[in-house]
C-alpha cells in the first residue's frame, strides 16, 4: 500500500516548494517538532511565498502550455492545506489568486490525515504513539481551519468557491464545472473528458486500500466535532 504516491509526472502538493524557504510548517508533518511548528505560526511567511513563486516560474519557463492565451497555459492549480495558515502572505505575492475550499466532515479528515502522517513518519521512527499523533494532528489541522475562518471573516470579498467534497467524489464533472462557472471560466467538453480520463487511469484503489479508525488514534467524532464546532456551524451544510 502506498500512502501517498509520488512521481515526476503525477500531481503533487506544492508544500515542498515552501520547505525550501525554511518558513514552512511542512516539516511538522514529517516529524514531531512542536517548537518549530509554533514558530511557523507566528512568523511572517512572505518569503516562503516568494520562494514558492520562483519554483513556479522555473517550472513554467519555456512551457506556456498547450493553448497559449487560454487557461491551460496561464494558470497553476495548487493544493496544500498549509496555505490556510498564511493567507495574508499568500495574497501579497499572488494578489490575483482565486480559491476553492472543499468542505468535509472534520472527523473523517482528521482520521485520514492521522493515518497518512503515520505512514509518512514510519520510516524515521522505531515506534509511533498513535494516540499522541491523533492529538497532534487534531489541533494542527484545526489551527489551519481556524486561521482560514478568521481570514474569511476579515475579507468577505475573498474570491472563493465553497465546494462539497462528497459531490467532488460522487459527481466530479458537474462539481468542477460549477466551480468554473462561478469564476466565469469556460468549461469545455475537453475539460470534462480530461477529468474522466484521469479518473479512469487513477481508480481509488490503484495503490491499495487504506484502513483506519478514529479509535486507533485515541479520538472520537464527538471530540473532533467539539474542537471544530465553529467550522461546523459555518460550513456544516457542505459536509
pLDDT digits (tens, 9 = 90+) for 91-120: 999 999 999 999 999 999 999 999 999 999
The percentage of residues in the chain with a pLDDT greater than 70, rounded to a whole number, is 92
Give CA–CA dist 231/29, Å, rounded: 22
Q: Compute how many other C-beta atoms are within 10 angstroms of the C-beta atom of residue 134.
A: 24
Domain assignment present for 8: no
C-alpha radius of gyration, the chain, whole number: 19
Give CA–CA dist 75/10, Å, rounded: 17
Domain assignment present for 1: no
Domain assignment present for 135: yes
Domain assignment present for 10: no
**pLDDT higher than threshold 50 for residue 19:** yes
pLDDT of 64: 62
Helices (H), 122-164: 130-154
Domain assignment present for 224: yes
pLDDT of 173: 98
Whether the Cβ atoms of residue 131 and residue 218 lie closer than 8 Å to each other: yes
Cα within 13 Å of Cα(109), Cβ side: 22
Length of the chain: 239
pLDDT of 59: 85
State which residues form the domain around 75. 15-238
End-to-end C-alpha distance for the chain, whole angstroms: 28
* CA-to-CA dists, residue 29 to 79, 133, 141, 204, 239, angstroms: 16, 10, 11, 23, 25
Helices and strands, number each (H, E), in the chain: 13, 2
Give CA–CA dist 152/168, Å, rounded: 22
Contacts of residue 143, defined as CB under 8 A and 6 or more positions apart, other chains included, come to: 41, 85
Domain assignment present for 67: yes
Q: Compute how many other C-beta atoms are within 10 angstroms of the C-beta atom of residue 90.
A: 22
**pLDDT higher than threshold 90 for residue 206:** no
Average pLDDT value for the chain: 90
Mean pLDDT of 10-21: 86
Domain assignment present for 105: yes
What predicted TM-score, i.e. pTM, was given to this entire model?
Answer: 0.89
Q: What is the CATH number of the domain that holds 231?
A: 3.40.50.300
Give CA–CA dist 65/71, Å, rounded: 9
pLDDT of 94: 97
Tens digit of each residue's pLDDT (9 = 90 or more) over 165-192: 999 999 999 999 999 999 999 999 999 9
pLDDT of 71: 45
Give the three cell numbers for residue 33: 517538532
Split into its structural domains, the chain has a count of 1
Give CA–CA dist 87/45, Å, rounded: 10
List phi, psi (to 5°) of 101.
-115, 105
Query: Residue 128: which pLDDT band, with cuts at 50, 70 and 90?
Result: very high
Tens digit of each residue's pLDDT (9 = 90 or more) over 41-97: 999 999 999 999 999 998 888 776 554 444 446 788 999 999 999 999 999 999 999
Contacts of residue 192, defined as CB under 8 A and 6 or more positions apart, other chains included, come to: 173, 177
Query: Residue 203: which pLDDT band, with cuts at 50, 70 and 90?
Result: confident
Domain assignment present for 220: yes
Of 15, 200, 51, give the one whose Cα is nearest residue 4. 15
Amino acid at each position: 500500500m502506498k500512502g501517498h504516491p509520488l512521481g515526476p509526472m503525477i500531481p503533487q502538493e506544492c508544500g515542498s516548494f515552501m520547505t525550501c524557504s525554511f518558513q514552512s510548517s511542512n516539516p511538522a508533518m514529517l516529524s514531531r517538532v512542536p517548537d518549530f511548528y509554533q514558530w511557523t505560526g507566528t512568523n511572517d511567511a512572505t518569503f516562503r511565498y516568494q520562494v514558492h513563486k520562483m519554483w513556479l516560474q522555473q517550472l513554467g519557463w519555456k512551457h506556456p502550455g498547450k493553448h497559449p492565451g487560454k487557461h491551460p497555459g496561464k494558470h497553476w492549480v495548487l493544493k496544500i492545506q498549509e496555505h490556510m495558515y498564511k493567507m495574508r502572505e499568500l495574497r501579497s505575492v499572488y494578489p490575483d489568486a482565486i480559491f476553492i475550499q472543499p468542505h468535509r466532515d472534520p472527523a473523517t479528515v482528521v482520521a485520514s490525515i492521522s493515518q497518512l502522517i503515520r505512514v509518512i513518519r514510519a520510516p524515521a521512527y522505531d515506534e509511533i504513539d498513535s494516540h499522541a499523533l491523533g492529538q497532534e494532528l487534531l489541533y494542527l489541522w484545526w489551527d489551519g481551519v481556524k486561521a482560514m475562518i478568521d481570514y474569511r471573516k476579515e475579507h468577505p470579498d475573498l474570491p472563493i468557491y465553497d465546494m462539497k467534497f462528497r459531490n467532488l467524489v460522487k459527481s466530479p464533472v458537474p462539481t468542477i464545472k460549477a466551480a468554473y462557472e462561478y469564476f466565469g471560466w469556460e468549461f469545455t467538453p475537453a475539460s470534462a473528458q480530461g477529468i474522466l480520463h484521469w479518473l479512469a487511469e487513477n481508480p481509488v484503489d490503484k495503490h491499495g486500500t487504506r484502513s483506519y479508525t478514529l479509535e486507533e488514534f485515541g479520538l472520537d467524532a464527538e471530540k473532533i466535532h467539539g474542537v471544530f464546532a465553529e467550522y461546523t456551524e459555518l460550513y456544516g451544510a457542505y459536509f
